[in-house]
Amino acid sequence: MSSRVVLGVAGGIAAYKACELLRRLQAEGHDVTVVPTAAALEFVGAATWAALSGKPVHTSVFDDVHQVPHVRLGQQADLVVVAPATADLLARAATGRADDLLTSTLLTAHCPVVFAPAMHTEMWLHPATQANVATLRARGCVVVDPDSGRLTGPDSGPGRLPDPAELAAVVTAVLTAPSIVARAAGRDLAGLRVVVSAGGTREHLDPVRFLGNRSSGLMGWALARAAVLRGAEVHLVAANVTLPAPPGTTIHPVTTTGDLATAMTEQAATADLVVMAAAPADFTPAARSDTKIKKDGDGGLHVDLVQTTDVLATLVQGRTDQHQVLVGFAAETPTADSSLLELGRAKLTRKGCDVLVLNEVGEHKAFGRPDNEIVLLTEDGADGPHAGSKDFLAHLIWDCALQRRSHR
């Protein structure tokens, strides 16, 4: 569904990344109006913004006065996102300044507002900036923590604008469900340590071949992204995922189901919330060849397989903190004899986790796609189906996990 988005751009070197964010939002069908500050135009000119957006670009409240743009833009927008948001812009927004078109738009916006800060590390960590961020969040704004990495010149540290794909995912989730804004602004996962597994494991036959599955890690990445946005300390156990790490997460790479079981057991020991979104292989070769297996005439290859560790059941059995909530995933293919819900309920009973995220898999379903359809199963029953982007669904899963935790 097309939404009216105002893309505010403040005067920082990261302004060039907003060009890609603009393109991504347009590709999703949104009507985007760019409102740069005068300083932003020193980095990316008005002609570039006009060409990319297909709309005139203004920075002053005195342009097209008869249309009252400083009021109209904020009133008509479905979302305002400021990327990059400099220390100066955050300060002016927090104190209610209205000295240009962008800050005036922010004051008149009735819609969700997302800030994506970008600045040098010292500026981001300064108490004044942190106080301004806290003020904006207290007013219901979403402030995306900056990434860590290379900054202007040789400097490196927190303050880097997140990748445009990460920001577009946040925008998509907020536009899909504005209720997410309250959770992100309120940082309802703050103080919690969460562990998420993602991707698909690989069981080696020889040095070049393996048994695996089609899991891309997109759902686990969405869960990690959503948890960071809501203030959690996030550890991501990644099985063969090639995606860039979500900002604010600690990555623990693994390969096999055995590796996954070891890493998850270690990380879950001190976790408040654990989500097993990875797709572990259920079987592994009984023996691995140290050399590449050669063809032998026209004959086939016979491989003896043994079962791997049931990672989710192991986590449930080893749980020592009764306040910890364990969430599992069930990728199922219903049959004439067993419906999707029947398969899910049987798995929930068998695994013993607190929440089971049930989804049907198959061609053009779930794996590798940006969207999904899920049912949330608990001992109280089924909630769903819920369909939408994985970033939107990730927030529903965290909502359900928090609800179960409150019942402990």
**Which residues participate in catalysis according to the annotation?**
213
277-to-141, 196, 244, 397 alpha-carbon distances in Å: 29, 7, 17, 11
Name every residue whose Cβ is closer than 8 Å to that of residue 401 and which is 6 or more positions away in sequence: 273, 275, 325, 327, 354, 355
Tokens for 307, please give them: 């079962």
Query: Rounded to whole angstroms, how far apart are CA atoms 346 and 337?
Result: 13
Which structure tokens are listed for 405?
A: 């935790």
Burial 35-56 (b: 16+ CB within 10 A, else e): bbbebbbebbeeebbeebbeee
